[in-house]
Homo-oligomer: A and B are copies of this chain.
Amino acid sequence: MRFKNTASLGITNYGKRGMNLEDDINLSNKFYLNQNKAVIYKKPTPITIVKVNYPNREHAVIKEAYFKTPSTTDYNGIYKGKYIDFEAKETKLTSFPLTNIHEHQINHLRKIEEHGGIGFLIVRFVKFNKTFLLESNKLFSFLDTTKRKSIPLAYFEKQGHLIKDKYQPRVDYLQVIDKLYKGDLL
């Protein structure tokens, strides 16, 4: 459940070992922003608000709300003039279950590609401590050519790009984008 993640709670565990992928990416995006390299944010978790109390003018308290299924991916922004859009997921298994991505998120990534944006997945295999960037067209060709319900690690090893662990930024996915889109970027 998304909510268990400390980042969604507004708590940042700097320097803690074994941080999850979402925390790592949020810190990386903060680093990119501070370095004025890119402007990429995680979207807030979509919720439906049902009841709000106003104990006083300044402080509204949400007393009843529900999680909504997101229509888009979690992250988007701009890098060197290009629109960037991606979803990030961890798995403890040895292959990446496609149930981890909603169908409308995949459709969203298809639209992003169509409109000239850069779309991808970042997937971390926790067991192997390996994080990959998989371009959305590689995701689509997997989906369009097989009926398997999960993407094996081997596919990421072959078609994806390993993102090496660093101190800062922790998940330097823009390094991969630089390599892939060299001539296309500002």
Contact = CB atoms under 8 A, between A and B. Distances in A.
Interface of A: 1, 3, 8-10, 33, 36, 38-39, 41, 43-50, 52, 59-68, 71-72, 76-83, 85, 108, 111-112, 114-117, 186
A67 B85 CA distance: 25
Q: Give the oligomeric copy count.
A: 2
Contacts of A111: 33, 36, 39
Contacts of A116: 78, 80-81, 186
A66 B62 contact: yes
A9 B41 contact: no
Nearest to A81: B116
Contact of A44 (B1, B46, B79): B46
A105 B17 CA distance: 33
A2 to B, nearest CB: 9
Nearest to A65: B62
